Every structure is written in structure tokens, then in C-alpha cells.
Amino acid sequence: MPVLPSWLTEPLWDQFAALLPERSEYHPDHPLGCHRRRISDRIIFDKMLQLLRFGCSYEAIADTTCSATTVRSRRDEWIQLGVFARLKQIALDSYDRIVGLVLDQIAVDGSITKAPGGGEVAGRSPVDRGKRGLKRSGMTDGYGIPLGRVLAGANRHDSPLLAPTLDRLDELGPLPDDVTVHLDAGYDSDKTRAVLDERGLRSRIAHKGEKAPIQASQRWHVERTHAWQNAFHRLARCYERRATVVDAFFDLADAVITVRSLIRRAWTTYRWDERPNRRP
């Protein structure tokens, strides 16, 4: 069974392949030209999707097509080229052009997941008996499309991460005149309101000690996006130790989420050659 349906994998790969530099099948500097052929990028890309979805080790995903060392080295090569970040940004731009991002309603919230391997962005988790954990401060639009994130240790409070998270809005270009940021009670402080005022953003913050009614605001969109991201087991239980690698897997997951939402929402409006027979 494929890790992702073909109507989702193929457009992702087509764009990903367009971002890769041209490489010869054999290394041009080899004196005899008789060494092994370069492993296909498509094979490594499929392995990366399997790692993201299943959360298994590199050794478990290795087989006769490629080794775990090859997957790691190609992953690091693509990270250095910035391919994962560019793929995520292209998916976001495509969604904005075809469907439209709801940028007048922004939601920000933190989520804590396990990080048994520790690493650069891990810390003692206050909700898991002090074990190593990872916190992400995620930001979404009014529908739940991931716009950016900040990674930190699980022992970091949500409020200090708000400013660097909102700084990711600068990557989106011009924003609507009136932007409302929806936050939970963990952000209910004068410092948070000062951060929002500096950026000219409105706020809708839940008050501490007051029980909020059901669907009191648009915060549930970011909570749903956290659930979408946690469906990728590499993110829900992270063994990666380097922050750049963790960010790369998050960028790949965000690209998958964005393209999936794009196809689902565009299915009833647009027609294209590879359009699924049924609405995904």
C-alpha cells in the first residue's frame, strides 16, 4: 500500500524534481567511470515520505534500492540546497493563488510532542514526567493552512515564542489591513498585547479563569492543523537531533498538508488532467 495516494504524491514529486539541480548518472570526476550509478532522486524522495509518515528508523526503511547512509546524505544535500523550504513556500503560494489564504484571521498555538532522542530543540516536558519533548509554536490561516512555526524545547512557555512566530508573516508579503490573531488563555498577558500592537495586529485572546464557550473563536483551526501534523509519526515522536533536519521534515509535512487541501478544495471548481475521479 503506498504511503500517500498517487494524486498527492505525483504533483509533489513533479515540483520537488523541478527544484533539484541537474546531476549526471555517474560522477564526472571518477577516473575510470566504472563506479556504481547514482541512486535515483525519486527513490530517495519516496523514502523520505515513508520516514515522515511511519516514523521508522533509517535502517528500517533501507532495502536493496538504497542504504540508510544514502538517504541521510541525500537528505542533508537537499537541506543545504533549501529544497524542502522552497517546496513548502511554492505549495503555499499555489494555494493562495488558486484558493486563497484567509489571512485576516490568524491562529497561533503551541503543541508538545515526544523527542526521545533529545537534540537541539528538545527539553524537559512538563506533561510527560520530565522526559525529553519538543514544542512547536504553529501559525495557521483562517482555514488551517500552516503558515510557519518556531521549534523549541518542551519546557518553553508559549508566550515568549509568539513574537518569533508572528515574524514568519513577513515571508507572506502584504497582509490585509485588519488581521485578527486568535490565541488561547496561555497568551493572556500585557506583554502579548504589546507584541501584537507593535505589529498592528488585532487580538482575540481567551481570558484566564474563564471557561470559553464551544467554538468561541477560530483557534480550533490551528488545533486541527496540529492533529494533521501529528498524523506524521516522524513529527509526533521525533528522534532527529539537529534542528535543521526537524525543520526539513516539518516543511515536507506542511507541503503535503497544503497540497492535499488545495486539491480537495479545488476539486469542485477546477478541472485538470490528473484530477481524481472522486473528491479526495
Interval 194-214: pLDDT, tens: 999 999 999 888 888 777 655
**Cell triple for 10:** 505525483
Sole residue written with cell 504524491: 9
Q: What is the pLDDT along the chain (280 residues), one digit of tens a residue?
A: 578 999 999 999 999 999 999 877 766 666 666 667 788 999 999 999 999 999 999 999 999 999 999 999 999 999 999 999 999 999 999 999 999 999 999 999 999 999 998 889 999 999 888 899 999 999 999 999 999 999 999 999 999 999 999 999 988 888 999 999 999 888 989 999 999 999 999 988 888 877 765 555 678 899 999 999 999 999 999 999 999 999 999 999 999 999 999 999 999 888 888 888 888 8
Phi then psi dihedrals of residue 207, to 5 deg: -95, 140
256 touches 12 (CB < 8 A): yes
Buried b (16+ CB within 10 A) or exposed e, 138-172: bbbbbbbbbbbbbbbbbebebbebbbebbebbeeb
